Structure 1
């Protein structure tokens, strides 16, 4: 009986071994087939390269062909992955330090057309009236259809004082219009700040550069000094901020949040899966905040707005942001060129991906032109034989003021910014309600 059982066990073991060999053979065949397919694809590329080098009407340097092939490969992935030849890679590193030569616009590719994400303030593009969403149809005489971002940047940059003509199409235009701009050395001051009214500060982040977080802290200290050490509310303006360095966006957010997740990223490689959290050190006081965004707010500025919104640290106001929810890694290559490759998606603390959606404001406020009108109503004091108040009897010449005078008054430019005025009104209302609740307590 035991002999029969041993025979049965032996047969089963032999069958398992045979099945294992068959499985291994099947896997090896699959791997071999995949490797063969990859080899054939690479062989196709080298065949085309050889034919072009041998038979093209003019001789083309091999490096130009390789660079062209890399450009084509990356442009087929997404609008933000690109190849940077040595000269462009060098300029990119200069960009993050806040100084470069050009027109002053951030661009992307949308539906095969170069599109302005936002003009940078106080640059030739900004002064010429270019706007977020404008489509660049031509650069000089070259059409931009299917042109890569790097090609466009190379065409638009040049020596200071030289002119360039670009053709722009906008929804409100009945036909394309030409804009002739003079190139300048673009020096970007990433942080601008001032006091709006007594106790209320304004902080604008133009883009995220190497020292943005540090400069922001200095600006906040200046505002506090102007207001005797107090800050009752802050408007953080991220409108037309095209983004920049991820680490600076995290540091800026960390300044306003004492704890919790700021942003996390997910990608194929382990190194692209990261989580960034806030720290309690040097956190700003919990004063009311309004964050202004619009369609020109992209990338790093969306990280800041999304985190502050998810943590209920600030009210987000304005219009929906651009919707760039991907992370690009800059990879240096052996010949001093560089690769800008999309390696991850980022998510707000609550798990939202804003890719192609944007940050939706808590309060939607569209930009409008403000026209001041006089109040045409009669008031009690305009009626004949009206009663005087005791104060008026003591000092008839005293004209009542709409509000008590303060150390600071709004700049005319601020008064014309409807979205900013709505943000300030919200902060002041917040402060009034806080005072009422405090009095009731």
Structure 2
């Protein structure tokens, strides 16, 4: 879950304490030694970017440095469309790992599964790769090809998977009608149009059902996305009350989002489906509806990502994705590395041939607490 911010530090260097001066002096010494003595000539930009990557990697698995090209790709992704193979990835125990394939994408159709370890991309090892570096290698123009080499528990040797990149259009909201006036809505991710798409879906369902007698909101395997969209989605269902609060290092970084009573809230019984793939912005929605007594949450323990990343644009067009806060549910719960406990725990058992329900299936359990430095 992240927000965008343009930030430049105008503070005086004199505000730095002596220990920081000492550390910066050490960095300058090492930089100078490498530039003058390394066996081959080294580009200064390469060294600086490597140092920044190392600095950010030491913090947590969600902070990252983005080159100008990667930053542009992130901006495109939040709009819900990009070229690639369609997987959410993370670094698990120093290995590039699939969190979840996105429904209907090349990776999903090729049988890539949650928990798959990507050990090579186009024949090159992914050892020590950053998430943003992996994203750059996996994405590309439509109809170009990329080979990922995967390992999983049921494979005795690595398996090459040849994928043809496609335009990944994340349709974040899908819906259908069950019998007896029950509606089903799935939110696959939270990007710039999610709340608008949800409102349109609910209007259509209301027009067809007249009235809607019950609603199932499916947030399984939803990796999250934009904080503002999570707030907007929760607000659709809540007439009043706190939706989420965030806290950072200083009091000035504390925020609280409250529902607006616009008289258009959904009033029928609501069930929210979650699992271990429900993360970040999706957990905000589930937690807000649960704490406000608006919905019955059903499924398995969620992922447990309660950190907020701020996108800080830099002068050269690059950016930092930096963890700047943690969010708390309306009752003040921090679910970081814990997740949301459903009101009713139900493990997923896929019915044979039911593709719609297969979005809840996961081969392995992967949660925030498993990530190094969470």
Tell me whether 1:246 sits opposite 2:246 in the alignment: no
How has the CA–CA distance of structure 1 residues 196 and 38 changed in structure 2, closer, same or farther, with 3 Å as cutoff?
Answer: same
Asked whether the 8 Å contact 1:104–1:186 carries over to 2, the reply is yes
Please state how far the C-alpha of 1:367 moved relative to its aligned partner.
2.1
Please state how far the C-alpha of 1:258 moved relative to its aligned partner.
1.0
1:25-77, Cα deviation, whole Å (9 max, x unpaired): xxxxxxx9x93332221111011111111122222221111111111100010
Q: Which of 159, 179, 187 is 1:197 aligned to?
A: 179
Please state how far the C-alpha of 1:171 moved relative to its aligned partner.
3.7
> Secondary structure of the equivalent of 1:255?
helix
Q: Separation in 2 of the partners of 1:196 and 1:209? A: 27
Q: Residue 295 of structure 1 aligns with which residue? A: 276
- Which range moves more in the overlay, 103-112 or 76-85? 103-112
Q: Separation in 2 of the partners of 1:321 and 1:331? A: 28
1:380-400, Cα deviation, whole Å (9 max, x unpaired): xxxxxxxxxxxxxxxxxxxxx
Q: How many residues in Structure 1 have an aligned counterpart in Structure 2?
A: 347
Q: Which of 121, 124, 138 is 1:139 aligned to?
A: 121
Q: Residue 250 of structure 2 aligns with which residue? A: 269
Asked whether the 8 Å contact 1:369–1:418 carries over to 2, the reply is no
How has the CA–CA distance of structure 1 residues 56 and 282 changed in structure 2, closer, same or farther, with 3 Å as cutoff?
Answer: farther
Alignment of 1:244-393 (within 5 A): 244-370=225-351
Q: Separation in 2 of the partners of 1:324 and 1:167? A: 28
Q: Residue 15 of structure 1 aligns with which residue? A: none
Tell me whether 1:152 sits opposite 2:114 in the alignment: no
Structure 2: gaps spanning 5 or more residues: 1-13, 362-374
Asked whether the 8 Å contact 1:119–1:240 carries over to 2, the reply is no
- Which range moves more in the overlay, 338-347 or 184-193? 184-193
Q: Residue 122 of structure 1 aligns with which residue? A: 104
1:251-303, Cα deviation, whole Å (9 max, x unpaired): 10011111111111111134431111111114423211111112221110011
Q: Residue 370 of structure 2 aligns with which residue? A: none
Please state how far the C-alpha of 1:353 moved relative to its aligned partner.
1.3
Q: Which of 8, 13, 24 is 1:42 aligned to?
A: 24
Q: Separation in 2 of the partners of 1:56 and 1:97? A: 43
Q: Separation in 1 of the partners of 2:191 and 2:142? A: 22
Tell me whether 1:92 sits opposite 2:71 in the alignment: no
Q: Separation in 1 of the partners of 2:358 and 2:50? A: 46
Tell me whether 1:63 sits opposite 2:63 in the alignment: no
> Secondary structure of the equivalent of 1:168?
strand
> Secondary structure of the equivalent of 2:190?
coil
Asked whether the 8 Å contact 1:326–1:342 carries over to 2, the reply is yes
Q: Residue 207 of structure 2 aligns with which residue? A: 225
- Which range moves more in the overlay, 127-136 or 229-238? 127-136
> Secondary structure of the equivalent of 1:208?
coil
Tell me whether 1:181 sits opposite 2:163 in the alignment: yes
Q: Residue 393 of structure 1 aligns with which residue? A: none
Please state how far the C-alpha of 1:175 moved relative to its aligned partner.
4.4
> Secondary structure of the equivalent of 1:331?
strand
Q: Separation in 2 of the partners of 1:282 and 1:60? A: 63
Q: Separation in 2 of the partners of 1:298 and 1:69? A: 30
Q: Separation in 1 of the partners of 2:316 and 2:271? A: 46
Q: Separation in 2 of the partners of 1:82 and 1:370? A: 39
Please state how far the C-alpha of 1:138 moved relative to its aligned partner.
2.2
Asked whether the 8 Å contact 2:174–2:185 carries over to 1, the reply is yes
Asked whether the 8 Å contact 1:367–1:418 carries over to 2, the reply is no
**Normalising by structure 1, what TM-score?**
0.75
Q: Residue 402 of structure 1 aligns with which residue? A: none
**Normalising by structure 2, what TM-score?**
0.87
How has the CA–CA distance of structure 1 residues 292 and 176 changed in structure 2, closer, same or farther, with 3 Å as cutoff?
Answer: farther
Structure 1: gaps spanning 5 or more residues: 1-31, 373-411, 421-441
> Secondary structure of the equivalent of 1:194?
strand
Larger Rg: 1
Please state how far the C-alpha of 1:140 moved relative to its aligned partner.
2.5
**How well do the aligned residues superpose, as a CA RMSD in angstroms?**
2.1
